[in-house]
Amino acid sequence: MTTQITRFTDQKTILLKTFKRDGTAVGTPVNIAVEGDHAFIRTYDAAWKAKRMRNNPRVEIAPSTFRGAPTGDPVRGHVRLLEADEARHAAARLAAKHRLLHGFLVPLLHRMKKYKTLHYELRLD
């Protein structure tokens, strides 16, 4: 049986909806790399979406354009912050799929801005 996450395998960008404390959803386009029954996303520590995911790991994702316009139906899921070897693995998967963006530009920008890069595992409910 294939999982719903496999429909995102060829998708470069998804609309990630995270939730404020009052339940309001906030959508942000992010890149995704699918591996098996889960996927990986990345952001940085000062991003509002990181703060929202820290408070509430529940998310919704939908396929989208680069600018975040949904191109398909949303599905519910949850995220888990990765550390150490798991985070390095997620970074490698993202870099393999998005060579220029996540293999070079995003890591460079995070270093220049002195951000801590955060990697998350995404699983659908």
Tell me the CATH number at 42: 2.30.110.10
Instruction: Summarize the confidence of residues 91-110 as an average pLDDT.
Output: 90
Q: What percent of the chain has pLDDT over 90?
A: 86
Give the domain extent around 21.
Answer: 1-84+120-124
pLDDT over threshold 60, residue 2: no
- Total domains in the chain come to 1
pLDDT of residue 105: 84
Q: How many C-beta neighbours within 10 Å does residue 81 have? A: 14
In this structure, is residue 89 part of a structural domain?
no
CA Rg, the chain, in Å? Answer: 14
For 112, the 3-state DSSP assignment is: helix
Please report which confidence band the pLDDT of residue 103 belongs to, taking 50, 70 and 90 as the band edges: confident
pLDDT in tens, 44-99: 999 999 999 999 999 999 999 999 999 999 999 999 999 999 999 999 999 999 98
In this structure, is residue 103 part of a structural domain?
no
Name the one residue in this structure whose structure tokens are 């316009």. Answer: 69
Predicted TM-score (pTM) of this structure: 0.92
pLDDT over threshold 70, residue 1: no
**Furthest-apart CA pair in the chain: how many Å?**
44
For residue 53, what is the enclosing H or E element?
A: helix 48-55
For residue 117, what is the enclosing H or E element?
A: strand 117-124
